[in-house]
Structure 1
Amino acid sequence: MSTHASYNMRSKSYYENDIKGTMKDIGGGKMVSSGTTPATSSKENFFIFSLVSLWYSSNIGVILLNKYLLSNYGFKFPIFLTMCHMSACAVLSYISIVFFKVVPQQMIKSRSQFMKIATLSIVFCGSVVGGNISLRYLAVSFNQAVGATTPFFTAVFAYLATLKREAWVTYAALVPVVAGVVIASGGEPGFHLFGFIMCLSATAARAFKSVLQGILLSSEGEKLNSMNLLLYMSPIAVIILLPAALIMEPNVVDVTISLGSENKTMWLLLLLNSVTAYSANLTNFLVTKHTSALTLQVLGNAKGAVAVVISILLFRNPVTVVGMAGYTVTVMGVAAYGETKRRFR
């Protein structure tokens, strides 16, 4: 749930495709478990624990850094900030795939496939920019509560696009997801209508991208794993965001240089923030590869709660019992939705 973080390139329903595509790298495509020793098992467990810790740190870190830069530091340029993130993702994705061979490079095979990736990039830009704008006005805790409603929008868009119905109990599980946000909104001391609308729009756009991705890149020859998709989407996003930032945030260059001259840590914060945004994507992919989509879902639900607690401790934003109760109801609804999807798929 990173801005919502919105930097995860695939929805949970498509994680299995990444796993299938990358498990071939392990044991020549075969799962060999009979020769696993206790020492090997301990190393694997430690590796997975370290990976999950880094994933948590990256996802929560990018949210908190976004909030600090946009609300507390005076850097009020969410479009330019998103462009910095995508620039880092473009460069680091290229290095990771071409030089370090994190995953095999998948090439774009047709003009049609490129246009589909460009369409996804535009929707993705909208979701990330909207999420960053909302952080200027909303506390991270409330931002995370609204972002947790992603499954609701995903279910709505999936039905509208494919007319495929889920089991009634699956839709019933979405009721507390929405009800929790309604409750949290009523108990949010720093509620801001514009910020709420932007956060809700970003959440809907994120869900729409996931559904659109499943439709546009559904053929076997056009499927891309999340790291290759990020490699091709990022430069397109930069091309879109650069003129948008210069037009909609006309003083961004002057203010950025001014802030950087007054405080040299400004450049370090921007660099750290951008690298962390890429790290959130990379670790998300690796955690999915080495665990499972279900594990990632459970960890993701817990991650949102951890982000809320840390943000309250750092930014001291006021919270109410009603607000926290609403967020809890939403998270429980998301967990129930995930479980019903697994049982009734």
Structure 2
Amino acid sequence: MMLKKEALFICSLVTLWYSSNIGVILLNKYLLSTYGFRFPIFLTMCHMSACAALSYISIVFLKIVPHQTIKSRSQFYKIATLSVVFCASVVGGNISLRYLAVSFNQAVGATTPFFTAVFAYMATLKREAWVTYAALVPVVAGVVIASGGEPGFHLFGFIMCISATAARAFKSVLQGILLSSEGEKLNSMNLLLYMSPIAVVVLVPAVLIMEPNVIEVTTALGREKKSMWILLLLNSVTAYVANLSNFLVTKHTSALTLQVLGNAKGAVAVVISILIFRNPVTVVGMAGYTITVLGVVAYGETKRRFR
């Protein structure tokens, strides 16, 4: 009976993780390229504001996880550095969604292990087994093939998507290096609690300089379409739920299970986005994405076997 309850609980967590992750991607795409809301930096700031407020409520009041404090100025600077890199990855990803189909965006995003391996080697000079690096060849080759077969290919959108993917990988490597000592380690929810307000502070001047008319246009859109405010709020809350559910799934499953679920999640997002947005796909594009996903699976397996 207890095993059934635990299995049901984990299935519920995975469902929440999938729906919130895919939901925030689709909502971002809808707002930025279909709805007429052309402000990816402001949208990221809304996400970070929601994450800051809801993280505080979840940790300090609801006590979902124990509250961890910042112990030194050095640790604060490390977290601030991570926050800036994290901002770059989210902003880049949101900008790319203005120009690229979600399916292609996910294909490019699947190359994260390639950038992680490159940055990890550059930072630590630690070599992996040759077979592990060999598994990265189809990861990159698949995206090259998918790019050639993508009907809506947009160079600037592609550059932003690659940049966001690289920044995401760099953040994970940097996190492992900067917060490696036992006294400085934070779980992902407490890290989000401290990173989010810093991200908001960084994003405010960026919005004022790069999107100066955002308040005027957003207010006009809100008067014209009453759903504007609901969509913006729902999008921001969903961004936080995606982070929370990712932490809970990580906590209650193994690293291998998480990796397999993550690979499947990308494929599910591709199928759903095609069904919703009806963006044209080609056999070459889908073949490229499939090669990339298989490469990611092979990379994960070789990492596990040859660690």
Q: Does 2:171 match 1:238?
A: no
1:220 CA displacement: 0.7
Q: Does 2:169 match 1:195?
A: no
Alpha-carbon distance in structure 2 between the residues aligned to 1:185 and 1:206: 21
Residue type matched to 1:50 in 2? S
Residue type matched to 1:161 in 2? A
Q: Does 2:20 match 1:79?
A: no
Alpha-carbon distance in structure 2 between the residues aligned to 1:218 and 1:291: 22
Q: Does 2:2 match 1:44?
A: no
Alpha-carbon distance in structure 2 between the residues aligned to 1:303 and 1:120: 25
Residue type matched to 1:44 in 2? E
1:246 CA displacement: 1.3
Alpha-carbon distance in structure 1 between the residues aligned to 2:170 and 2:2: 41
Residue type matched to 2:115 in 1? F
- The residue that corresponds to 2:81 in the other structure is 119
Alpha-carbon distance in structure 2 between the residues aligned to 1:63 and 1:266: 17
- The residue that corresponds to 2:16 in the other structure is 54
Q: Does 2:244 match 1:282?
A: yes
For structure 1, the residue ranges without an aligned partner over 5 or more in a row are 1-38
Alpha-carbon distance in structure 1 between the residues aligned to 2:183 and 2:17: 30
TM-score (norm 1): 0.89
- The residue that corresponds to 1:133 in the other structure is 95
Q: How many pairs were matched up?
A: 307
Question: 1:233-285 CA deviation, whole Å, 9 max, x = no partner?
Answer: 00000001011111100110000000001111100000000000000000000
Question: 1:45-97 CA deviation, whole Å, 9 max, x = no partner?
Answer: 11111110010000000000000000000000000000000000000000000
Alpha-carbon distance in structure 2 between the residues aligned to 1:239 and 1:326: 39
Q: Does 2:211 match 1:255?
A: no
For structure 2, the residue ranges without an aligned partner over 5 or more in a row are none
Alpha-carbon distance in structure 2 between the residues aligned to 1:209 and 1:46: 33
Alpha-carbon distance in structure 1 between the residues aligned to 2:8 and 2:180: 35
- The residue that corresponds to 1:106 in the other structure is 68
Using the aligned pairs only, state the percent identity: 88
Alpha-carbon distance in structure 2 between the residues aligned to 1:294 and 1:59: 19
Question: 1:8-44 CA deviation, whole Å, 9 max, x = no partner?
Answer: xxxxxxxxxxxxxxxxxxxxxxxxxxxxxxx111111
Residue type matched to 1:100 in 2? L
Structure 1 segment 154-193 matched on structure 2, within 5 A: 154-193=116-155
Alpha-carbon distance in structure 1 between the residues aligned to 2:164 and 2:208: 21
1:139 CA displacement: 0.1
Alpha-carbon distance in structure 2 between the residues aligned to 1:307 and 1:205: 21
Alpha-carbon distance in structure 1 between the residues aligned to 2:255 and 2:233: 30
Q: Does 2:270 match 1:334?
A: no
The ranges of structure 1 where at least 4 consecutive aligned residues each deviate by more than 4 angstroms after the TM superposition are none
Q: Does 2:274 match 1:303?
A: no
Residue type matched to 1:137 in 2? Y
- The residue that corresponds to 1:221 in the other structure is 183
1:126 CA displacement: 0.4
1:224 CA displacement: 0.4
Of 253, 259, 264 in structure 2, the residue corresponding to residue 291 of structure 1 is 253
